[in-house]
Amino acid sequence: MVTQYQVRLFHNRRNQTLNIPHAFEMPSNDVVIRKDGERLIIEPLKKGSLLQLLATLEDIDEDFPNVDDGLPPLDDIQF
């Protein structure tokens, strides 16, 4: 297996583009790119769950309004 290729960078207006060889194909269309010194590191974007996202949010100190105000109790509703 080839572990490195020499490739050419292309200029596209204000961006540089890179054709990734098939041998290095990523499992996703969404990636994260970061710079570490002179190196560019490209990694697949790891999609988290909704619960993981919610766990990162701060608690809300506000009281929510009572949306049941003015509605009849569920026991009084007839079908």
Residue 28: both structure tokens together:
């996703």
pTM of model > 0.85: no
- The mean pLDDT values, 10 residues at a time, for the chain of 79 residues are 87 90 88 94 87 88 86 73
Task: Kindly report the backbone phi and psi dihedral angles of residue 55, in degrees, each rounded to the nearest multiple of 5, phi listed first.
Answer: -65, -20
Indicate the domain borders of the chain: 1-46
**Residue 39 is inside which H or E element, if any?**
strand 39-44
Q: Quick: pLDDT tens for 7-20.
A: 999 998 899 998 99
Q: For residue 71, what pLDDT is reported?
A: 82
Residue 27: both structure tokens together:
């499992």
Asked if residue 21 lies in contact with residue 4, where contact means CB atoms within 8 angstroms, the answer is no
